[in-house]
């Protein structure tokens, strides 16, 4: 009763508290999910994931990311066969490859390496993973930027030029329960100096 009275009389504040708690809970609940049912991911959910990814911060707001959405079974299976750390693609109905343009053109026309492309694509990736958690989907970040995996992925998906993949994210409806890990370690925190 007391709880009801509080939320009744402070409705806007209670709503804000609930929204804040929901966001923090979503961050705490995110976990890598590597088993999926065969249920497809809806187009609406795919758009939500991509909107979340593109809402990420990026250096100078350059937004160098590019996304390859994979829902073709043969393509997913072919990649699963070639990427030994991404075998879960075999049972994923969907994967999103987060890529980025690695070069940028300066105001004077000079073309230089975008040294922040991995940071930008990583921010987009984490946003996408958090959106997957919020939608009740399961997903996992699998590495793709090292030379060996990058070459395999570029070859399989026809990525050419200066665009590079950062990661492949298998996505689906979770098959079973996965618990989030508790990673809180106060000893990792350093105040004012090392």
Ligand X SMILES: Cc1cc2nc3c(=O)[nH]c(=O)nc-3n(C[C@H](O)[C@H](O)[C@H](O)COP(=O)(O)O)c2cc1C
**Site of interaction with ligand X (CB under 6 A):** 31-32, 34, 85-86, 140-143, 181
CB of 145 to ligand X, least distance (A): 8
Residues 89, 83: Cα–Cα separation, whole Å: 9
Q: Give 192's DSSP letter.
A: S
CB of 168 to ligand X, least distance (A): 8
CA distances from 76 to 16, 54, 94, 112 (A): 41, 23, 8, 33
Residues 158, 155: Cα–Cα separation, whole Å: 5
Closer Cβ to ligand X, 14 or 119, answer by number? 119
Closer Cβ to ligand X, 93 or 170, answer by number? 170
Closer Cβ to ligand X, 46 or 98, answer by number? 98
Closer Cβ to ligand X, 29 or 105, answer by number? 29
CB of 141 to ligand X, least distance (A): 4
CB of 33 to ligand X, least distance (A): 8
CB of 144 to ligand X, least distance (A): 8
CA distances from 55 to 21, 62, 67, 122, 125 (A): 21, 12, 13, 12, 11
Closer Cβ to ligand X, 14 or 174, answer by number? 174
Q: Which of 35, 19, 154 is nearest to 88 (CA)?
A: 35
Q: Which residues contact 51 (CB under 8 A, 6 or more apart)?
A: 131
Residues 52, 68: Cα–Cα separation, whole Å: 15
Do the strands 163-172 and 94-101 form a parallel or antiparallel pair, or are they unpaired?
antiparallel
């Amino acid at each position: 009763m007391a709880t009801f009275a509080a939320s009744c009389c402070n409705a806007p504040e209670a709503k804000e508290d609930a929204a804040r708690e929901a966001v923090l809970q979503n961050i705490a609940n995110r976990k890598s999910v590597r088993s999926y049912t065969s249920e497809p991911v809806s187009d609406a959910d795919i758009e939500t994931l991509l909107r979340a990814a593109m809402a990420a911060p990026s250096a100078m707001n350059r937004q160098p990311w590019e996304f390859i959405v994979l829902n073709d079974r043969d393509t997913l299976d072919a990649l699963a066969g070639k990427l030994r750390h991404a075998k879960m693609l075999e049972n994923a109905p969907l994967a999103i490859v987060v890529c980025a343009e690695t070069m940028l053109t300066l105001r004077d026309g000079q073309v230089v390496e975008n040294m922040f492309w991995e940071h930008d694509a990583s921010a987009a990736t984490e946003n996408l993973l958090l959106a997957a958690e919020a939608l009740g989907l399961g997903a996992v970040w699998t590495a793709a930027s090292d030379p060996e995996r990058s070459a395999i992925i570029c070859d399989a998906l026809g990525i050419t030029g200066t665009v590079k993949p950062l990661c492949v994210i298998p996505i689906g409806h979770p098959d079973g329960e996965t618990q989030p890990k508790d990673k809180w370690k106060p000893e990792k925190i350093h105040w004012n100096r090392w």
